[in-house]
Amino acid sequence: MLLNEAIMGRHSTRSFRPDSVEKSLLLTLADAAQQAPSASNLQAWRFLFITDTELREKVDLFSPGLSGKPPVILVICSDMHKAARKGGKNSEVYGCLMDASMAAENLMLKAVELGLGTCAIKSYNDSAIRKILNIPERYRIEMLMSIGYPQGEPRCPKRPPLEEICFFDHITESEKENHE
């Protein structure tokens, strides 16, 4: 699969088949994720794959953004002790989230290649998820992600024309943007 095919084929999947995802595929996704750029080469990311049905159901109760009963819920965390030690305050505040986001995109593109669907989720109760999964305080939860085999076709929201979002040398606001 060409990169452009994966980019254009990636959509947020919100309905999943019940089929389990093999551990080897999840490790392949994690390997793709860890190839992402990392601010100050922190590599503070941690990938917690939740495959246990009971744990997934508990996490689902505290994650309004989660839908479609995915067979895997990924919790992407950052090791804040490592970030502080290696990159300082700026890395803690910005670097880890930036790194986790780039790792997540790598993972999502690899998932497309493997025939898997994903959906990044930021709507969840942090303290409840932390307690359910026994996540130590040193790890900051950056996002959740549902992973599985898509059921049906995902929604494909229309994207704005490039003329509305791309600028060269200076930003010009359209009349429409001034009234939004």
Can you give the pLDDT of all 180 residues of the chain as single tens digits? 788 888 888 888 989 999 999 999 999 999 999 999 999 899 999 999 999 999 999 999 999 888 889 999 999 999 999 888 877 777 777 889 999 999 999 999 999 999 999 999 999 999 999 999 999 999 999 999 999 999 988 777 788 999 888 999 999 876 556 556
Both tokens of 109, joined, read 């593109």
Give the chain's domains with CATH numbers: 3-178 (3.40.109.10)
pLDDT at residue number 169: 92
99 neighbors 36 (Cβ within 8 angstroms):
yes
User: What are the helix and strand counts (H, E) for the chain?
Assistant: 8, 4
Determine contact, residues 106/51, Cβ cutoff 8 Å.
Answer: no
Q: In Å, how far are 25, 32, 109, 116 from 19, measured between CA atoms?
A: 13, 22, 20, 11
The phi, psi pair for 75, rounded to 5°, reads: -110, 115
The tokens 């505290």 sit on which residue? 62
Position 7 scores a pLDDT of: 84
Supply the pLDDT for residue 117. 96
Q: Which residues pair with residue 102 across a beta bridge?
A: none
CA contacts within 13 A on the Cβ side of 176: 4
